[in-house]
């Protein structure tokens, strides 16, 4: 048997299993690889439908993944029923509305941090002892291409996904001596309901996810490529052309790539209304901000000439 076939028949825990990439991963792991999947999500109706579709190879639990104690209780329950976990897939997450960081309320910031990053470290902490006992131990953390190229208007989302990337890469080194694999998956736009949920259903929203529809890959294709990377036990996983392009730009000319990306997003506000809140103030007060920038540059140059010989804080 090929080493790539290690994934067949494994016991898997996956978060965000009721929709998008998580659902496709669940379906493919059960139907194509005979895995036993214990999924975590919140939508009971979708979970029941998935249970009906997949049968005894799938079961689910509903809890808040940002709650550390909920993770600990979940892992204890799993142990008590004799379900030895081989693979943990931290897939669940939430996307941020495009906006300036200064316009965000702290409650939203905390929610994104807890959902996108804290849930990952809680999940790994809860199941790592069990995974270490498995002969096929593996962890998959779904990050984002925004971890490679953080974009304007996605400050907290990019930060949390960057944290997932750093955590995963360091964890892979920690666990390499135990034969446990860790994959950090960094997808670009994926055609899921995540964008429709965020942007709504009006005409502006349709323009937003029309962009995703035009450049993104399907959740089914994303899941297939993630499983392929798992079978090869790859640590760093870029599954689409957008992510690969972002990675190339940040390797070759990081400062220029960031600058051009921001300019392109600003120029595309009419085509992609979701970008508009990021640049609203800059566009509405273009002349005033332009004058302030000139004055600020002038003040900085003058200040170099006005610094006291003995230092600004010397009596």
The pLDDT tens digits of the residues spanning 93-118 come to 998 889 999 999 999 999 999 999 99
The predicted model gives 175-203 an average pLDDT of 78
Phi and psi torsions of 48, nearest 5°: -65, -40
pLDDT for 28: 97
Q: Computed over its alpha carbons, how large is the radius of gyration of the chain?
A: 23
pLDDT for 2: 66
> DSSP assignment, residue 103?
G
Residue 294: which pLDDT band, with cuts at 50, 70 and 90? Answer: confident
Rounded distance, CA 246 to CA 188, Å? 9
The predicted model gives 251-275 an average pLDDT of 91
SS (HEC) of 172-192: HHHHHHHCCEEEEECCCCEEC
Q: Which residue has the tokens 């005894």?
A: 56
Taking the CA of residue 236 as centre, how many other CA atoms within 13 Å lie in the half-sphere pointing to its CB?
11
What's the topology of domain 3-282?
Rossmann fold (3.40.50)
pLDDT for 249: 96
β-partners of residue 185 are: 142, 237
Distance of CA 72 to the CA centre of its chain: 23
In the predicted structure, residue 202 carries a pLDDT above the cut 70 = no
pTM reported for the whole predicted model:
0.88
- The residue extents of the domains of the chain are 3-282
Cβ atoms of 126 and 132 closer than 8 Å: no
CB neighbours of residue 28 within 10 Å:
17
pLDDT for 204: 54
Q: Is the dihedral of CA 124, 127, 132, 138 positive or negative?
A: negative
pLDDT for 191: 79
The predicted model gives 211-220 an average pLDDT of 79
Angle between helices 219-231 and 20-33 (to 10 degrees): 60
pLDDT for 223: 96
Taking the CA of residue 131 as centre, how many other CA atoms within 13 Å lie in the half-sphere pointing to its CB?
23
Q: What is residue 256's three-state secondary structure?
A: helix
pLDDT for 303: 67
Rounded distance, CA 275 to CA 267, Å? 9
Q: What is the pLDDT of residues 235-245, one digit of tens each?
A: 999 999 999 99
In the predicted structure, residue 291 carries a pLDDT above the cut 90 = no
Least confident of 67-71, 153-157, 193-197: 193-197
* List of residues 6+ apart from 272 with CB closer than 8 A: 207, 208, 211, 265
- For the stretch 29-36, contacts whose Cβ atoms lie closer than 8 Å and that sit 24 or more positions apart, written own/partner, are 29/227, 30/54, 30/57, 30/58, 33/7, 33/8, 33/9, 33/227, 34/8, 34/9, 35/7, 35/8, 35/9, 35/10, 35/11, 35/87, 36/9, 36/10, 36/11, 36/12, 36/83
Known catalytic residues are 157
User: How confident is the prediction for the chain on average, in pLDDT?
Assistant: 89
In the predicted structure, residue 216 carries a pLDDT above the cut 90 = no
The predicted model gives 212-222 an average pLDDT of 83
Q: What is the pLDDT of residues 20-62, one digit of tens each?
A: 999 999 999 999 999 999 999 999 999 999 999 999 999 999 9
pLDDT for 203: 55
Alpha helix positions (H), 40-182 = 44-54, 68-80, 106-113, 119-133, 155-175
pLDDT for 268: 87
């Amino acid at each position: 048997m090929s080493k790539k076939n290690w994934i067949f028949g494994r016991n898997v825990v996956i978060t965000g299993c009721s929709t998008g990439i998580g659902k496709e991963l669940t379906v493919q792991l059960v139907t194509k690889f005979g895995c036993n999947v214990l999924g975590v999500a919140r939508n009971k109706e979708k979970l029941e439908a998935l249970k009906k579709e997949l049968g005894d190879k799938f079961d689910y639990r509903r809890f808040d993944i940002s709650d550390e104690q909920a993770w600990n209780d979940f892992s204890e329950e799993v142990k008590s029923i004799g379900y030895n976990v081989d693979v943990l897939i931290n897939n669940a997450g939430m996307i941020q509305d495009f906006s300036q960081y200064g316009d965000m309320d702290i409650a939203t910031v905390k929610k994104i941090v807890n959902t996108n990053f804290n849930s990952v470290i809680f999940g790994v902490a809860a199941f790592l002892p069990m995974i270490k006992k498995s002969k096929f131990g593996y962890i998959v953390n779904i990050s984002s291409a925004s971890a490679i190229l953080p974009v304007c208007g996605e400050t907290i989302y990019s930060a949390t996904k960057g944290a997932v990337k750093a955590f995963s890469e360091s964890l892979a080194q920690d666990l390499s001596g135990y034969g446990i694999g860790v994959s950090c998956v960094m997808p670009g736009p994926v055609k899921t309901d995540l964008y429709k949920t965020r942007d709504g259903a009006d005409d502006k929203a349709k323009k937003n996810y029309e962009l995703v529809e035009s450049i993104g890959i399907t959740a089914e294709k994303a899941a297939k490529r993630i499983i392929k990377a798992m079978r090869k036990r790859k640590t760093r996983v870029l599954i689409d052309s957008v992510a690969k392009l972002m990675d190339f730009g940040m390797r070759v000319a990081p400062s220029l790539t960031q600058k051009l990306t921001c300019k392109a997003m600003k120029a595309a506000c009419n085509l992609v209304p979701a970008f508009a809140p990021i640049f609203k103030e800059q566009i509405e007060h273009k002349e005033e901000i332009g004058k302030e920038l000139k004055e600020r540059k002038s003040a900085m140059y003058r200040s170099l000439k006005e610094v006291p010989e003995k230092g600004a804080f010397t009596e």
